[in-house]
């Protein structure tokens, strides 16, 4: 049956166009691209429709809703375009101006040439595109203000830390403006660094917190767009900005070298009146400034708020400004042309969490357990006397004595514990939570209350970037479900405008952690814009290496360990962290189909290849890397059986992977000479790798690369000679089963792929056993121990509790990508990137009773659900309209497979069926059109 077309799609109703997005956003008001890219999804009227696709489209873009409703595309009428593309289609109409509103819709023609109805209307608005748009606004802040000196001195003495005397103040800025006419539309563009809140007539605009996102401020600074139309009125209006230090003002945590300066803001407000005229207002010295009740804020150490210093009407009309001073001009953190619109999802409070236990430990102190490790802050509601000081110390674990909150996992590097301090106003019920600092914690110790905390008085606020969850995993094994839940909780707790390593201690964008978790992030979340921004952060963090400055052709340099900010350590550059720049670009292309992001960074990736090529030593081996990171008992000399992969081994393997990716993308971009260069270099590296590290075990006849991680990487990246694959797989299995009692001995680089490699090469039973093993160091052991997020280090906690490292580190959860690519079998492919073509290769079908896995792709919902029944294996697939799939069914017989009770030759949507031997196992390979399928594979 190989190569035959079995059936064609059944005649069905026209397609529906839904889910319109501009630059991957729904109706954005802040686009700064001159040619925004448009996308939509397609829906069939019936779930039984199969093989549905788009053959053409027409886009209309208009300057007004009325014109669009009249089918007049005065900005752009694409006409009928013969194309199946429904994502990333660049606007090609008239040049767009700053603040211009655009309304658009689309219609499509299906595979039979039938036209759809017009889609619902969508819109986008341009941000500020020209430097001149910022004229009339300056960077402003607070000069010296003595209003709070006496109370602030008292507070510093109370905290017994003189370092805080030199911390940056948290300013309030305000300005009253008069609007003489009715307002049609008003937009405010606000850049307040480190963090800022924007107010109009006493009300905070939006529900975002910790805004804007962190960047290398000297290279790019983000601004936030607010639609303030409904908040303004004819007459006098008040504008206000509340500033915090954030990652910009880092002069007390870490070292002063990480400090960009005191908080500052630049804002521009455009008011369009109903008569068509426009008035502009900007930040300048006519604004007023004073200190806020936040007498200390540091994103690492915490926040102190003195409610006695509140100015209730500070952002309202009529506020008494007699004690305010004029705002002062401050130096711009970056040139105006480097101000960039924030396109990532903002940080928001996601939910409030009630305590699961409150324990009185004496001395007026209480320990509160919120039941899960999280990132955010504590919200309190109290009735106290004026001047009462409530102190909250946050931590991730309890000490063995059961009464002491451990602060060792969150102090250390930044030099201090996490504290939230509130000084009471004393006039009735008071509610407070920090606004410019967040922490990682499950437990708090609270003191200073006049009575024991009551239900509803204390809540933990979960705070992270508002990235939409678009994936789902569930199986018959609750332990796997728990591991997935822990992974998601850990990922989410570390998203605060960048992918962090941990939310309690470092809060840094370590690149090795980012590439370890890239795939699971793309599988489970709408992470595209977030990671595209992080790639810009890496670009802004490129730096030269003085050891090799004589080599030319590296542009701005090569990636560091950390991005963004000044936190990166002054270590020799290491490829296993720097390679994230290549892998993240690759993953973004595979999962979204967006080649433009890769193209932006392509020259820098060429510099990356050249730089590390210059470092290759004798035998073509790359002497670079930190090695596999944080394997079990990593820093314990008493555990030599857990020795990690040597840095030169993993470093050389990652260089090979970077060359593979560069070769593929060079081919995509039509650079045949560079494609051939990377391919040849990759072969040289592979040969040298095998010559140096592939060793035979004489007793077993198996082959091994010296560690589980090195062997997993070699198999995953295709570095093993074809005639030696079986022996290498035997070597890996032998090391796991015979030398490590059925356990892994890998850090984050090996852990990411070990289960997928085992399952793909015929050892699903072993992969399943390892995942479900409840003894150290398996993930089942950590879940059973009570961790609600993955800890940084893998210790045998029963024997030796070691609460000195982070307890919330997503890098240890990268393996959960296996739940999608393995158990669900959902995989993106290079030819058909962005899930236009989907590969289904489900695993563990004999080890589990059932699994339900789904994810949202650029084309729609992808679903893989299977269950073992008395009749055989039931497998339900869903392929979105305008996509196709290649599915591998676990049987070597076409006759053993039926779909909805029919033999395969009678099934619509199946375009090809054949028996295939792939990765040492027979399977039935089907090429499928879109739609839903229900297969039965008989035992």
User: Does residue 836 contact residue 898 with C-beta atoms inside 8 Å?
Assistant: no
Task: Measure the CA–CA gap between 447 and 59, rounded to whole angstroms.
Answer: 61
371: which DSSP letter?
Answer: E
User: Does residue 174 contact residue 314 with C-beta atoms inside 8 Å?
Assistant: yes
Measured at the CA of 183, the angle between CA 178 and CA 187, to 5 degrees, comes to 90
User: Does residue 524 contact residue 491 with C-beta atoms inside 8 Å?
Assistant: yes
Please list the residues that pair with 101 across neighbouring strands: 125
SS3 content of the chain, % helix, strand, coil (to 5): 25, 30, 45
Query: Could you write out the three-class secondary structure of 184-211?
Result: EEEEEEEEEECEEEEEECCEECCCCECC
Which single residue is written with the structure tokens 């219609």? Answer: 107
Task: Measure the CA–CA gap between 515 and 930, rounded to whole angstroms.
Answer: 31
75: which DSSP letter?
Answer: S
Whole-Å CA distances, 853 to 146, 311, 891: 60, 52, 21
Residue 586 three-state SS: helix
User: Does residue 217 contact residue 334 with C-beta atoms inside 8 Å?
Assistant: yes
- Which residue pairs from 549-552 have beta carbons closer than 8 angstroms and sit at least 24 positions apart in sequence? 551/610, 551/611, 551/614
Number of residues written out for the chain: 939
Catalytic residue (one of 506, 528, 764, 865): 506
For residue 268, give the H/E element and its range: strand 264-273
Q: Name, in order, each residue with C-beta under 8 angstroms of 17's C-beta and a sequence gap of 6 or more.
A: 40, 41, 42, 43, 106, 107, 108, 116, 117, 118, 119
Catalytic status, residue 792: yes
Quick one: tokens of 905?
A: 């030759």
Residue 379 three-state SS: strand
For residue 766, give the H/E element and its range: helix 764-772
96: which DSSP letter?
Answer: P
Quick one: tokens of 225?
A: 């767009």
Quick one: tokens of 446?
A: 């609270």
Task: Measure the CA–CA gap between 78 and 540, rounded to whole angstroms.
Answer: 36
Alpha-helical (H) ranges within 54-138 are 65-69
User: Does residue 442 contact residue 371 with C-beta atoms inside 8 Å?
Assistant: yes
Burial of 146 (0-12, 13-18, 19+ CB in 10 A): exposed
For residue 38, report the phi and psi dihedrals to the nearest 5 degrees.
-110, 150
Which single residue is written with the structure tokens 């990636």? Answer: 559
Catalytic residue (one of 303, 500, 792, 865): 792
Q: Name, in order, each residue with C-beta under 8 angstroms of 659's C-beta and a sequence gap of 6 or more.
A: 609, 678, 679, 681, 682, 685
Task: Measure the CA–CA gap between 751 and 513, rounded to whole angstroms.
Answer: 12
Burial of 162 (0-12, 13-18, 19+ CB in 10 A): exposed
Quick one: tokens of 786?
A: 């009570």
Task: Measure the CA–CA gap between 754 and 746, rounded to whole angstroms.
Answer: 8
Task: Measure the CA–CA gap between 826 and 934, rounded to whole angstroms.
Answer: 16
Residue 412 neighbours by CB distance under 10 Å: 16
User: Does residue 72 contact residue 103 with C-beta atoms inside 8 Å?
Assistant: no
ω before 198 within 30° of 0 (cis)?
no
Task: Measure the CA–CA gap between 727 and 721, rounded to whole angstroms.
Answer: 10
Q: Could you list the active site residues?
A: 506, 792
């Amino acid at each position: 049956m190989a190569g035959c077309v079995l059936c064609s799609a059944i005649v069905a109703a026209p397609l529906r166009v839904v889910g319109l997005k501009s630059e991957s956003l729904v109706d954005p008001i802040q686009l700064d691209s001159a040619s925004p890219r448009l996308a939509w999804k397609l829906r069939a009227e019936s779930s039984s429709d199969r093989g549905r696709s788009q053959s053409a489209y027409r886009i209309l873009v208009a300057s007004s809703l009325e014109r669009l409703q009249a089918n007049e595309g005065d900005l752009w009428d694409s006409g009928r375009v013969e194309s199946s593309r429904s994502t990333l289609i660049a606007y090609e109409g008239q040049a767009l101006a700053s603040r211009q509103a655009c309304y658009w819709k689309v219609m499509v023609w299906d595979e039979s040439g039938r036209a759809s109805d017009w889609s619902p209307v969508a819109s986008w608005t341009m941000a500020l595109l020209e430097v001149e748009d910022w004229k009339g606004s300056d960077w402003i802040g607070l000069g010296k203000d003595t209003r709070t000196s006496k109370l602030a001195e008292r507070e510093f003495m109370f905290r017994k830390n003189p370092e805080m005397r030199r911390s940056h103040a948290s300013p309030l800025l305000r300005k009253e403006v008069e609007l003489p006419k009715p307002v049609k539309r008003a937009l405010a563009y606000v850049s307040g660094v480190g963090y800022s809140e924007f107010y109009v007539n006493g009300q905070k605009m939006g529900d975002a917190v910790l805004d804007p996102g962190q960047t290398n401020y000297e290279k790019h600074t983000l601004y936030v767009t607010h639609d303030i139309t409904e908040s303004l009125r004819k007459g006098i209006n008040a504008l206000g900005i509340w500033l915090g230090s954030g990652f910009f003002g880092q002069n007390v945590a870490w070292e002063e070298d990480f400090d960009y300066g005191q908080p500052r803001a630049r804002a521009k407000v455009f008011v369009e009146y109903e008569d068509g005229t426009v008035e502009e207002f900007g930040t300048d010295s006519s604004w007023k400034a004073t200190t806020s009740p936040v007498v200390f804020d540091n994103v690492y150490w915490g926040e102190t708020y003195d409610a006695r210093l509140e100015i209730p009407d500070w952002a309202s009309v009529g506020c008494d400004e007699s004690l305010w001073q004029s705002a002062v001009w401050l130096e711009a953190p970056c040139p105006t042309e480097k101000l960039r619109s924030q396109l990532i999802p903002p940080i928001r409070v996601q939910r409030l969490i009630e305590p699961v236990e409150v324990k009185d430990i004496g001395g007026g102190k209480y320990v509160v357990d919120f039941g899960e490790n999280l990132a955010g802050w504590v919200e309190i509601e109290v009735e106290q006397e004026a001047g009462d000081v409530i102190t909250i110390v946050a931590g991730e674990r309890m000490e063995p004595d059961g009464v002491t909150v451990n602060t060792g996992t969150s102090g250390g590097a930044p030099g201090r514990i996490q504290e939230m301090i509130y000084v009471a106003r004393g006039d009735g019920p008071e509610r407070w939570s920090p606004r410019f600092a967040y922490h990682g914690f499950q437990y708090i110790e609270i003191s200073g209350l006049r009575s024991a905390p009551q239900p509803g008085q204390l809540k933990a606020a979960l705070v992270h970037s508002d990235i939409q969850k678009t994936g789902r995993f569930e199986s018959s094994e609750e332990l796997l479900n728990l591991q997935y839940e822990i992974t998601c909780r850990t990922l989410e707790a570390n998203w605060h405008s960048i992918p962090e390593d941990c939310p309690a201690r470092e809060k840094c964008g370590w690149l090795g952690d980012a590439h370890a978790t890239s795939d699971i992030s793309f599988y489970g979340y709408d992470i595209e814009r977030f990671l595209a921004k992080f790639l810009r952060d890496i670009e802004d963090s490129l730096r030269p290496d003085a050891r090799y400055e004589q080599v030319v052709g590296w542009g701005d340099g090569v990636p560091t360990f950390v991005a963004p900010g000044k936190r990166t350590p002054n270590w020799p550059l290491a490829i296993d962290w720097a390679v994230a720049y290549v892998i993240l670009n690759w993953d973004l292309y595979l999962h979204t189909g967006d080649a433009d992001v890769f193209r932006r960074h392509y020259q820098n990736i060429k510099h990356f290849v050249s730089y590390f090529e210059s470092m290759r030593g004798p035998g073509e081996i790359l002497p670079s890397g930190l090695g596999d990171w944080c394997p079990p008992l990593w820093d314990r000399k008493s555990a030599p059986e857990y020795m990690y992969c040597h840095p030169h081994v993993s470093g050389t393997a990652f260089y090979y992977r970077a060359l593979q990716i560069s070769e593929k993308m060079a081919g995509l971009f039509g650079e045949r000479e560079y494609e051939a260069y990377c391919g040849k270099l990759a072969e040289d590296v592979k040969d040298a790798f095998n010559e140096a590290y592939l060793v035979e075990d004489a007793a077993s006849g198996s082959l091994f690369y010296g560690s589980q991680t090195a062997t997993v990487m070699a198999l995953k990246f295709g570095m093993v000679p074809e005639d030696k694959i079986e022996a290498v797989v035997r070597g890996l299995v032998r090391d796991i089963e015979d030398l490590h009692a059925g356990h892994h001995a890998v850090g984050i680089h090996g852990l990411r792929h070990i289960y997928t490699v085992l399952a793909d090469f015929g050892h699903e039973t072993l992969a399943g056993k390892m995942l479900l093993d409840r003894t150290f160091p398996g993930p089942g052991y950590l879940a059973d121990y009570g961790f609600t997020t993955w800890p940084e280090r893998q210790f045998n906690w029963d024997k030796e509790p070691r609460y000195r490292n982070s307890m919330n580190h997503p890098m240890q959860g990268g393996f959960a990508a296996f739940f999608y690519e393995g158990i669900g079998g959902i995989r993106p492919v290079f030819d058909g990137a962005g899930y236009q073509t989907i590969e289904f290769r489900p695993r563990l079908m004999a080890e589990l009773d059932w699994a339900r896995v789904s994810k949202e792709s650029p084309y729609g919902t992808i679903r893989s659900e299977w269950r073992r029944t008395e009749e055989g294996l039931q497998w339900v697939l869903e392929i979105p309209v305008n996509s196709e799939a290649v599915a591998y069914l676990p049987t070597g017989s076409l006759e053993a497979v039926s779909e909805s009770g029919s033999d395969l030759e009678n099934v619509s949507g199946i375009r090809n069926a054949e028996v295939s031997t792939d990765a040492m196992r027979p399977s039935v390979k089907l090429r499928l059109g879109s739609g839903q399928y229900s297969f039965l594979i008989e035992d």
